[in-house]
């Protein structure tokens, strides 16, 4: 009986460790970047659009004064990024 309790304890620890590992799998991601012109200068107020054909999703944002943009909490997948200024 004592041997069985030991195995149950070990099995319980393994289950807890595996559950915490699976809890760390990312379900969202982000896309960041900086829009620059041919000379390398930042392009403020440019419109940046990300589009996922697989997820049928599209989001748009505007670059800041430093040309930076961020799309956060995007579902995992492949995205096409388009910029217009």
- Helices assigned H by DSSP within 1-85: 2-22
| Domain limits, the chain | 2-84
Amino acid 21: pLDDT: 55
Amino acid 19: pLDDT: 59
Per-residue model confidence as pLDDT tens digits over 13-55: 777 766 555 556 778 899 999 999 999 999 999 999 999 977 7
Helices (H) and strands (E) in the chain, counts: 1, 5
Amino acid 1: pLDDT: 54
What is the pLDDT averaged over residues 57-83?
94
Six token digits for residue 77 = 């997948």
The domain defined by 2-84 folds into Immunoglobulin-like (2.60.40)
Amino acid 20: pLDDT: 56
């Amino acid at each position: 009986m004592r041997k069985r309790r030991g195995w149950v304890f070990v099995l319980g620890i393994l289950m807890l460790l595996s559950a915490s590992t699976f809890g760390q799998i990312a379900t969202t991601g982000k896309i960041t970047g900086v829009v620059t012109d041919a000379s390398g200068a930042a392009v403020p107020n440019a419109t940046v659009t990300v589009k996922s054909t697989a997820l049928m999703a599209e989001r748009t944002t505007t670059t800041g004064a430093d040309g930076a943009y961020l799309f956060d909490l995007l579902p995992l997948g492949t995205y096409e990024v388009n910029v217009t200024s």
